Chains A and B, each alone.
Chain A
Amino acid sequence: MMTDIIQKVKNLSIGFRSKKGDEILILKNISTNIKKGETVGIVGESGSGKSTLALAMMGYVKHGLYTIGGECQFNSSNLLKMKSKDLEKIRGRKIAMIPQNAGQALTPNLKIGYQIDEALQLHSDLDEREREKKISELLNKVRLPSPETIALRYPHELSGGQQQRVAVAMALAGTPDLLLLDEPTTGLDVTTQAHVLELLNFIAKDTGTSMVYVSHDLGAIAQVSDRIIVMYSGEIVLEGPSRDILKKPIHPYTYGLLKSIPKLSLAGLPESMPGSQPQPGTIQGGCSFFDRCNFSDDNCKNNSPKLEFLKDLNTSVRCFNYEKLVNENEVSQTVNKIKNKSLDKEILNLSEVSISYAKQKLLDQIFNRISDENPTVKDINIDIKKGETIALVGESGSGKSTILKSIAGLLRTKDGLIRFDEKRNLSSDLKERDPNDLRIIQLIFQNPDESLNPNHTVEEIIAQPLKLYFGLKGEELKKNIIDLLQKVRLGEFYMSRYPRQLSGGEKQRVAVARAFAAKPDIILCDEVTSALDVSVQAAVLNLLQQLKEDFGTTYIFVSHDLAVVRAISDRVAVLYQGRLCEVGPSNDVYKFPSHPYTEVLLGAVLEPDPDIKPKLVAEDIVEERPPEKGCSFQGRCSRIVGDICKKEIPPWQLTDSGNAIRCHIPIKELQKQQF
């Protein structure tokens, strides 16, 4: 039986020494086995220690950390005690790793073929001839089109998904027995993600390689793993067969996590989990999940539970009260239904908006005009009602952020009008807007680390708009700040803190407070939850919804996560290559995806459910620029009707429920062919 196990992690503890000299644990006494041919998913929030564990599995401990105890056995030798010379022989050949953003980590000035060749030279004993053959074999295996030409390209000439495939090919060069993947699809588009995961699944089956996936995304993990390990602040809290864990998680953390992830099939906001994961070294005895647990009792406060193996469930769980969950049925998700208070009054209207990034010729610069026959964003017509949440969705590069920038006045439009409140035209040039025009539209950004000045306290951050727009001072200013902090559920004592002293969710709350401080009519949300941990995301979404109901604010919400969009938005606008494909009520768009592109997008969504497999309709090719003529989606459309799609811009067609679709296929037919 022993030979079945390829990697044996035994009582592994890794940590670092704090400035004060205390030993702080990042991994606490981890034991697990990886079997031959098995794929194991390690899930956890950022900071839970999942990457540290994966790195230890190849005998690597990050600079600044050290092994406190335990071992990682590979072929019955402890990797963590091995000399670096022996490790070199194993890494790449026996154990390979695909690090986070591996695609982007390719050497930019070397051709793809050359880079794979290097990996082959390093990790195999093939001669030049054989290597050449192997290169095209590998590129074929990762399903890159025409390997010969791809081998001659530079990394920047490939799309993100293709780069990721090259990284996979390089990892496979040494025909490893164990492949470690750290967030292999994070940062890729939904469609690309689904394709890459499908490829990895195929490779696992085809080659019998054991794989360890590390990800925060349960949706991705669900598609690939046989077994799942759930980590929480450096401990394994739950480990067992993938299906059981996703369908009937018996640990309160996993249970809550699954409940807080928005699902495509459900409109409305999922319940949120309170709090956030504790920082390493701050737990003082008791269960590490105690603060956030709905099932806790006094016992949990003072004693820490052991990882217990339950034979009949083939699952290990670290919880005193798991029995309460064993008898629960499948995770039943309750959602807070959105109260739709949107009025019929139009608040913002975009008509015929086009935006170009093209470098302008001198003559155009002199006349201060923009000329571009084929602009990045074109013909955007949307009218947005007061109090509604409208979402812009589409793959990366579809122009979502570009449109937001123009609305905010940060990017000049080429053509078109942006009209506020039915009467006032807003210039897309900041300098031409008066202070009130600037106040009514506020932005919330993706990454609060970037959008909050690290040298300002929370008080200073929120004070900025209050001073700028309302000229508040002294006591009144302070009162307003405290008020706003309360609205985003932060206590008064946060005022004196710096962003680095806040957790991700808290930072985003501060950013939300800053946006509301201006008393805006419209808030532009650009991927506001994508940098947050899954368990915190739901809380921020709920907060946004609550504030909206209180203030009657209108949101324009950009996200690549279609489930999140489903949860929060009233209406959805689908964009491809800067052109609108479909605009309609969320319910409609999600229930009857009618535009071929919407179909592709929705089909590719990864749900944390082993029974829902993504449907890969179109290829995940990325187009450099929008086509000059005809339908923007013609290059990838699987239902293309012929020449008409290539020559004529498709007309808008309206469904009975008010969904507008832009396609040459008649509406009846579009809806008939649904999958």
Chain B
Amino acid sequence: MKVDNIYKEEKKSAFVKLSEIIITMASRPSGLIGLSILVFHIILAFISPYIAPHDFKAIDPTLMLQAPSAEYWFGTDDLGRDVFTRTILGGRTALTITFFGSLIALLWGGLLGIFCGLVGGKIDDVVMRIVDAFLSIPWILAMLLIVSLLGTSTEVLIPALGFFYGKGIVRVARAATHDVIAKDFIVSARARGHSNFSIIWNEIIPNVRDAILVEGAMRWSWMLLGFSSLSFLGFGVSPPTPDWGLMISNARGLMSFAYWAVIAPIVGLSSLIIGINLTADAFAKALGIDRSTKAPV
């Protein structure tokens, strides 16, 4: 009769936990919207090559800057290419590169942050100084340098983006580790004689994982913006591959008379960024992490 429902909660499999988190996320309007947008973009990225009505690189001078019509839903650009086709394809590269970039950022940022939080003292100081020094360089300058030296291939872009967007994660991981390390269960594990590896793996990571994942999700949306800026500047994806940043850059001069060519990629890009942002926020809330109390990075 008097059993409290929270006392009945049992250990759950990871799958059940994940689905519960997603359900919690979707139970708020903002979370639901964010998730829907994100899922929509991901699905689109997978199926767009099969549903694209036109060839994305087919140039047709006779069709230059056509207004939206039944045939060309979003009109055509200055080379007569179908804007709809290019828009639905334009997120694929960005999404893929930034997704893997974020994974790399999570990995190195998370590990370095945990390491610094764990060792503390001088080493921590020195490493954090270095990270701070890197933070103070405008990342876009550094990126331009890297890209101009090594080219704009995926193999260059993913690790480079991953590196620059991992710096913020180092901070969060370090702070979270600092909080955990002071707790008695760590002292207890040390006193029992567990190895450092076991302490990191069993005691620390489960307690900092959530904070790091949320930060990673946030970084993903920033990275998307960053990557698109690179494309916009001509250092990201090379033409004729459709890409929102590139499309916005090409069509921005036509804004006054062919707005359709620029509106569509802008909507695509901003909706994806908003979607990821809302999702990350809902994710944080569902995990019970209050981002507002975390120091801005």
Contacts and interface: CB of A to CB of B under 8 A. Distances in A.
Interface of A: 278-279, 281-284, 291, 408-410, 430, 433, 435, 438-439, 441-443, 445-447, 450-457, 459, 464-465, 468-469, 496-498, 500-501, 514, 518
A456 B4 contact: no
Nearest to B186: A453
A9 B206 CA distance: 46
Contacts of B192: 438-439, 442, 464-465, 468-469, 518
Contacts of A500: 6
B28 interface: no
A433 B190 CA distance: 12
Nearest to A496: B11
Nearest to A448: B184
B99 to A, nearest CB: 27
Nearest to B183: A450
B206 A284 contact: no
Interface centre among B188, B191, B194, B203 (most CB of A within 10 A): B188
A284 B2 contact: yes
B1 A284 contact: yes
Interface string B201-225: 0110011000000000000000000
B101 to A, nearest CB: 28
Contact of A497 (B2, B9, B187, B193): B9
Given A284-B1, A468-B193, A457 B11 contact: yes
Contacts of A497: 7, 9-11
Contacts of B207: 453-455
A38 B256 CA distance: 79
22 contacts: A278-B4, A281-B4, A282-B2, A283-B2, A291-B2, A409-B191, A410-B187, A430-B190, A430-B191, A438-B191, A438-B192, A438-B193, A442-B192, A443-B187, A447-B184, A450-B184, A455-B206, A459-B11, A468-B193, A496-B10, A498-B9, A501-B6
Interface string B174-206: 000000000111011111111000000011001
B3 interface: yes
Contacts of B189: 464
B3 A451 contact: no
Most chain A beta-carbon contacts within 10 A, residue among B183, B185, B202, B206: B185
Contacts of A464: 189, 192, 194, 202
Interface string B131-163: 000000000000000000000000000000000
A442 to B, nearest CB: 8
B203 to A, nearest CB: 6
A451 B193 contact: no
A435 B194 CA distance: 9
B188 A456 contact: no
Closest A-B pairs by Cβ, 9 of them: A455-B206, A438-B193, A451-B184, A496-B11, A450-B184, A445-B184, A282-B4, A453-B185, A279-B4
Interface of B: 1-4, 6-7, 9-11, 183-185, 187-194, 202-203, 206-207
B132 to A, nearest CB: 25
B197 to A, nearest CB: 13
Nearest to B206: A455
B191 A410 contact: yes
Nearest to B189: A464
Given A408-B191, A455-B206, A450 B185 contact: yes
Contacts of B193: 430, 433, 435, 438-439, 468
Contacts of A454: 207
Nearest to A436: B193
Nearest to A460: B202
Nearest to B207: A455
A453 B203 CA distance: 7
B200 to A, nearest CB: 13
Residue of B9, B11, B184 with most chain A CB atoms under a 10 A cut-off: B184
B6 A279 contact: yes
A283 B206 CA distance: 34
Contacts of A442: 191-192
Contacts of A279: 4, 6-7
A439 B188 CA distance: 12
B285 to A, nearest CB: 13
Given A282-B2, A496-B11, A497-B9, A443 B191 contact: yes
Contacts of A450: 183-185
Contacts of A409: 191
Nearest to B204: A453
A278 B6 CA distance: 12
Contacts of B6: 279, 500-501
Contact of B185 (A451, A468, A501): A451
Contacts of A501: 6-7, 9
A410 B183 contact: no
A571 B187 CA distance: 27
B171 to A, nearest CB: 22
Looking at A409, A439, A455, A496, the one whose CB has the most chain B CB atoms below 10 A away is: A455
A618 to B, nearest CB: 33
Nearest to A443: B191
A296 to B, nearest CB: 14
A283 B183 CA distance: 34
A282 B193 CA distance: 41
A454 B7 CA distance: 15
Contacts of A282: 2-4
A456 B202 CA distance: 9
A378 to B, nearest CB: 24
B166 to A, nearest CB: 24
A26 to B, nearest CB: 15
Given A430-B191, A454-B207, 4 more contacts: A283-B2, A464-B192, A497-B11, A501-B6
A409 B7 CA distance: 37
A445 B194 CA distance: 18
Contacts of B183: 450-451
A21 B10 CA distance: 22
Contacts of B203: 453
Contacts of B9: 497-498, 501
B2 A278 contact: yes
A465 B198 CA distance: 12
A453 B206 contact: yes
B267 to A, nearest CB: 36
B2 A443 contact: no
Nearest to B9: A501
A469 B9 CA distance: 30
Contacts of B11: 457, 459, 496-498
A469 B191 CA distance: 13
Contacts of A469: 192
B64 to A, nearest CB: 57
B209 to A, nearest CB: 8
A291 B3 CA distance: 12
Nearest to B1: A284
B1 A456 contact: no
A339 B203 CA distance: 38
Contacts of A518: 192
Nearest to B205: A455
A408 B9 CA distance: 35
B20 to A, nearest CB: 13
A452 B188 CA distance: 9
A300 B207 CA distance: 44
Contact of B188 (A281, A291, A443, A498): A443
A435 B2 CA distance: 44
Nearest to A454: B207
A468 B191 contact: no
Nearest to A495: B11
B73 to A, nearest CB: 44
A457 B3 CA distance: 19
A11 B267 CA distance: 56
B43 to A, nearest CB: 31
Given A498-B9, A501-B7, A452 B191 contact: no
Contacts of A443: 187-188, 191
B125 to A, nearest CB: 15
Most buried by A among B4, B7, B190, B193: B193
